[in-house]
């Protein structure tokens, strides 16, 4: 077991706060789904590009400011270009931030538009298949994010329960006590609290429903993926799962018929003998 000095420095509370901070970061709305969501990904790239331009702009403004200071030969004269530079920088930053959000909005609008347009023309069937796939993916991601949020809440509640448990221990052991002897003990207590919180949630109707909804959404997504894939396989004259299923079903039916015929034959032979 890990030993630690019981010198009153509250490393336990520090650990709990660190976990909380990590959860806060992980629990930011959309943080978990950002990489998966196309629109969010685009907007991240856009923002990144903006930041690079901003850095370049800052360097340029600093250079210009230094030049102005040297030219004016004093601080007072330098204030004007500095202020001017700041304003420019703010405007620059603002325009990129606006452009980023506009880009994000445009992407979302475009995706929304595509999803509402009726499929027409030569590629109607393909378009519809892809549109259904995108809708299924969007539904799945939405529910996945919802479940992630619930799990994050389990961890937050587990930390609160852990804190309460430690407080209780301290009270029973005396004011100077830390309540926990070492890291391993803290970890085990955290696991215990986590399981308690999760067990309570896991049995609730709302959680059972949410988990099943996510599972059902995953199934719908898989069905849509299969439809798109099978369409592609057919283009190359490759066998699909659907075709194999038909063959297996036929084999099973034939096998059952043979078994029935064999039983009838055996019964008939028995009758002949008797």
Partner 1 sequence: MNEFSPGSAELAAVTNDFMRRMSQGLAALANAGDVTIGSSAKDAVFTEDKVTLYRYRPSEVVAPENRVRTPLLISYALVNRPYMMDLQTDRSLIRGLLQRGVDVYLIDWGYPDGADRYLALEDYVLRYLPHCVDFVRQASGLDRINLLGVCQGGSMSLCYAALHPQRLRNLITMVTPVDFHTPENLLAKWAKHVDVDALVAASGNVSGDALNALFVSLMPFRLNSQKYVDLLHQLNDPNTSGAALENFLRMEKWIFDSPDQAGEMFRQFLTLFVQQNRLKNGTLQVGGRPVDLQQITMPLLNIYALQDHLVPPSSSKPLGELTGSTDYSTHEFQGGHIGIYVSGTAQRQIPDRIAGWLRERDAER
Quick one: 67 or 187, whose CB is closer to partner 1?
Answer: 187
Q: How far is the CB of 191 from partner 1 (least distance, A)?
A: 5
Q: Which lies closer to partner 1 via its Cβ, residue 27 or residue 181?
A: 181
Least separation in angstroms between residue 99's CB and partner 1 is: 33
Is residue 17 a contact partner of residue 188, using CB atoms and an 8 Å limit? no
Of residues 17 and 48, the one with the C-beta less far from partner 1: 17
Q: Toward partner 1, which CB reaches closer, 167 or 209?
A: 209
Could you tell me the smallest distance in angstroms from the CB atom of residue 146 to partner 1? 15
Minimum distance from CB of 171 to partner 1 (Å)? 22
Minimum distance of partner 1 from residue 203's CB (angstroms): 6
Residues lying near partner 1 in the complex (CB under 8 A) are found at 1-5, 7, 9, 11, 14-15, 17-18, 158, 182-184, 187-188, 190-191, 194-195, 198, 202-203, 208-209, 211-213, 215-216, 219-220, 222-223, 226, 241, 244-245, 248-249, 252
Q: Give the residue with the Cβ less far from partner 1, 59 or 208.
A: 208
Contacts of 263 (CB under 8 A, 6+ apart): none
Tell me which residue has tokens 């063959």.
247
């Amino acid at each position: 077991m890990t030993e630690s000095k019981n010198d009153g420095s509250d490393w336990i509370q520090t650990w709990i706060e660190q976990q909380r901070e990590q959860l806060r970061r992980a629990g930011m709305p959309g943080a978990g789904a950002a990489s998966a969501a196309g629109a969010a990904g685009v907007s991240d790239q856009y923002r990144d590009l903006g930041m690079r331009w901003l850095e370049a702009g800052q360097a340029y403004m600093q250079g210009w400011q230094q030049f102005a200071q040297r030219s004016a030969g004093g601080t007072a004269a330098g204030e004007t270009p500095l202020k001017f530079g700041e304003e420019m920088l703010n405007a620059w930053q603002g325009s990129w931030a606006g452009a980023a959000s506009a880009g994000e909005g445009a992407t979302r609008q475009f995706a929304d538009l595509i999803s509402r347009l009726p499929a027409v023309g030569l590629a109607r069937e393909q378009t519809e298949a892809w549109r259904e796939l995108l809708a299924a993916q969007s539904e799945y991601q939405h529910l996945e994010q919802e479940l992630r949020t619930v799990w994050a809440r389990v961890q937050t509640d587990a930390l609160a329960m852990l804190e309460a448990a430690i407080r209780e221990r301290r009270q029973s052991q005396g004011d100077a006590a830390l309540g926990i002897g070492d890291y391993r003990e803290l970890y085990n207590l955290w696991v215990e609290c986590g399981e308690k919180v999760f067990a309570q949630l896991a049995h609730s109707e709302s959680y059972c429903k949410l988990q099943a909804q996510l599972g059902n959404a995953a199934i719908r997504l898989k069905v849509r993926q299969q439809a798109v894939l099978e369409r592609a396989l057919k283009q190359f004259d490759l066998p699909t799962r659907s075709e194999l299923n038909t063959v297996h079903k036929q084999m099973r039916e034939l096998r059952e018929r043979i078994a029935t015929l064999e039983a009838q034959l055996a019964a008939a032979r028995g009758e002949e003998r008797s």
